[in-house]
Structure 1
Amino acid sequence: MLRPHPAVLSRLVEEYEALAAVEAVGGAAEPASRARDLEYTLCVSTGTRDVKDALETAHRWLASATAPETTTARKTLPVGEPVPARSASPLSRPLPLRRTPPLREPAVLAE
């Protein structure tokens, strides 16, 4: 089963738990549409059918995740520093030209 990126899963869990806390304090009888959307997304992302199971699974996955919870930015070079040369890759070479047979002149039909 595919797993969501830890940063995405973490954001979903945090947003859902924040909305659940606000709704618990406000005493809302029915969850708001955003909370329902988050419940659905968490369940689909974790392969569960109940939001409690989805949260347990998400917390377990986040605890065991080896990837950082934030997206990695590209390394930036200081201004004026030359860009390092890339290593030659077999895919970076131009493809050899293929020879095609010459086109023949169309035959002229005798009138």
Structure 2
Amino acid sequence: MLMAHPVVLRDLVEQYETLRALHASEADSERVRQRMEDVAYTLCVSTGTRDVDAAMIAARHRLPGARTEDDSVLSRT
């Protein structure tokens, strides 16, 4: 599988988080929603995942300084 460059992944993660915040605060702007879907799709393709939550976790684990043994992203039940 091709791996996205860490700079690209960091940018996508930052874009998605910003768009998610905008989407939550605005009255469902169609432009923001569409851009968020586009970035989510790109994150999924870039990380080889099928949903944006898994893509965000995978992207963060591939960024410099990530602690791959850190299981804090796993839910505790």
Q: TM-score range by the shorter chain?
A: 0.7 to 0.9
Bigger relative CO (Cα 8 Å, ≥ 6 apart): 2
Q: TM-score, normalised by structure 1?
A: 0.52
**Structure 1 gaps, min length 5:** 65-111
1:40 corresponds to:
41
Q: TM-score, normalised by structure 2?
A: 0.73
2:24 corresponds to:
24
Greater share of helix residues, 1 or 2? 2
Larger Cα-atom Rg: 1
Provide runs of 4+ in structure 1 moved above 3 Å. none
Residue type at the aligned position of 2:50: R
- Report the alpha carbon displacement of residue 29 of structure 1 after superposing the two structures with TM: 8.5
1:54 corresponds to:
55
Residue type at the aligned position of 2:17: E
CA distance in structure 1 between the aligned counterparts of 2:27 and 2:56, rounded to whole angstroms: 21
Percent identity between the two aligned chains: 52
